[in-house]
Amino acid sequence: MVDLRQTPQYATFMKSIGWVVERENAINYFIKKIPFIGSFIKIQRPNRIDIERIDNLIHKYKAFQIVIEPKDTNQQSLITNSGFRQSRIPFIPAKTIYINLTKSEKQLLFEMHSKTRYNIKKATNNKLQVTHSNKIEEFAEFWQKCALKQRGMFLSQKKEIVNLYKAFGKNIHLIFIHKKGEILSGVLMPTSKEIAYYMYAASSDIGKKLFAPTLNTWEAIKLAKGKGCEIFDFEGIFDERFPLKSWIGFTRFKKSFGGTEIKYPGAFTKYFFPF
């Protein structure tokens, strides 16, 4: 399966936010040029590792740091034998949950925590409306507002959200939960051929009280299944290897939908003096 970060659409997205992208043999190499210093290069979950190609990019772009985030441990020995060392913090989540979408909706509901099923029913009884939307600017504003209020996140992500939506076109889906015209929750879900990603999600305080995020997530899972995806990727949960306490709360929420925990090796980095 091809990871989202190795799709042509994701390469388009990265270019739109200022990265140089070299794509060869279906592998995306992301290069961030930094004036007077050189460049930073990252390769995230490629299907194979091409050390010779990476060495060429190091010289071409005068890289001072290279990060590789492999898909599995089979690639790990090649990376470490090439002088890369484990990083303390991954650049993308190294642990996630997969929901198997080849199962029936009835089975998916059965495998959830009973309280999660109850909350979906409760949200439906609260007469919340589900909307499949293309109003990405509205979602970006809503997401940023929730992030600022609930997490104190001052660094804007609005440009990234809008550009991601534009880059993926028909392969990205926006789902809102409303009540009486007010947005309570939203999920932005890009897809590759086989996998749907729970990439951006937000909910207001009122929405949480009415169980809008639970209904929103269930609607995203059903939509992904309907689009023919085989896996719903929750795109990150708490990882004891790289602990971030702020992730514990939403990890509990994601685990309540069932599924299988997936571990990646994490990030491996190598430094150079570029001059």
pLDDT, tens digit (0-9, with 9 covering 90-100), for 112-127 = 999 999 999 999 999 9
d(CA 203, CA 198): 14
pLDDT-based confidence at residue 149 (cuts at 50, 70, 90): confident
DSSP annotation of 71 reads: S
| Average pLDDT of every residue of the chain | 95
* Count of CB atoms situated within 10 Å of the CB of 25: 9
pLDDT > 60? residue 232: yes
- Tokens at 226, concatenated: 């309907």
pLDDT > 90? residue 90: yes
d(CA 10, CA 234): 18
pLDDT of 24-67, one tens digit each? 999 999 999 999 889 999 999 999 999 999 999 999 999 999 99
* pTM, full prediction: 0.94
> With pLDDT > 70 as the criterion, what percentage of the chain qualifies?
98
pLDDT-based confidence at residue 274 (cuts at 50, 70, 90): low
> Which class in CATH covers the domain with range 4-92+265-271?
alpha beta
Q: Which pLDDT score, from 0 to 100, does residue 53 have?
A: 96
Q: CATH number of 102-229: 3.20.20.100, 3.90.420.10, 3.40.630.30, 3.30.1490.20? A: 3.40.630.30
Which residues belong to CATH 3.40.630.30 in the chain? 4-92+265-271, 102-229
Backbone angles phi, psi at 190, to 5 degrees: -80, 155
pLDDT > 70? residue 217: yes
